[in-house]
Amino acid sequence: MNLRKTEDVLNDIKSLIYSKGYIYALCMILFEDFHFILKDIHKADFSSRLSKNEASLLIGFLIQKEINFSFPDNLFDILKLKEITYELMQELHESLQIPINEKAINILKEQKGIDLNAKMKPIYGDDHMFIEPIFYANDGVYSFQYMDFLEKKYIYD
């Protein structure tokens, strides 16, 4: 599989979000991926949905310019924009894994009777190694903790 550079994927995402009718495709994605019927939540396939960071990335790119509210030519255009969004976000995820995968493969090819733990240490020295794990990581807090610390966080606002 020939993976593209992250910058190329991001450029395609930026181009996509300014397409005619994209705002409506994004609204559909946000509604479908982030609204659940509580009794059916056990049926949710979270791996096929955008993460909150991916959705934030799309919205962040979108608001950098004036939003195009023009309607698409037909409904199928919206569905195609949704499909392309998921494809590009999957490609982004894969492209973010390239640096760590390349280093790991090279180290595994080179290791012959050498302490693997010692050989793996150089993987973590590159700044690009942690982009993917940081981008796709969870918040690190429980939802109720936001309310517990809200007053402390905004005490001076």
Q: What confidence tens digit (pLDDT) does each residue in 41-91 have?
A: 888 777 788 998 999 999 999 999 999 999 999 999 999 999 999 999 999
The CA distance from 84 to 16, in Å, is 8
Asked whether residue 75 falls in the same domain as residue 101, the answer is no
Asked whether residue 2 falls in the same domain as residue 66, the answer is yes
Six-digit token string for 106: 């090279």
The CA distance from 118 to 126, in Å, is 16
Asked whether residue 103 falls in the same domain as residue 63, the answer is no
Q: What confidence tens digit (pLDDT) does each residue in 135-147 have?
A: 666 666 556 666 6
Number of domains in the chain: 2
DSSP state string for 24-92:
HHHHHHHHHHH---GGGGGG--GGGS--HHHHHHHHHHHTTS----PPPSSHHHHHHHHHHHHHHHHHH
* Predicted pLDDT at 100: 74
Asked whether residue 53 falls in the same domain as residue 8, the answer is yes
Asked whether residue 68 falls in the same domain as residue 112, the answer is no
Q: Which of 96, 128, 149 is the last residue of a domain?
A: 96
Quick one: DSSP state of residue 149?
Answer: H
Asked whether residue 1 falls in the same domain as residue 40, the answer is yes
Burial degree of 77 (CB within 10 A; 0-12, 13-18, 19+):
middle
Asked whether residue 71 falls in the same domain as residue 56, the answer is yes
Q: What confidence tens digit (pLDDT) does each residue in 115-133 have?
A: 555 555 555 555 566 666 6
Asked whether residue 53 falls in the same domain as residue 85, the answer is yes
The CA distance from 80 to 109, in Å, is 41
Domain that holds residue 147: 97-157
Six-digit token string for 126: 């590159």
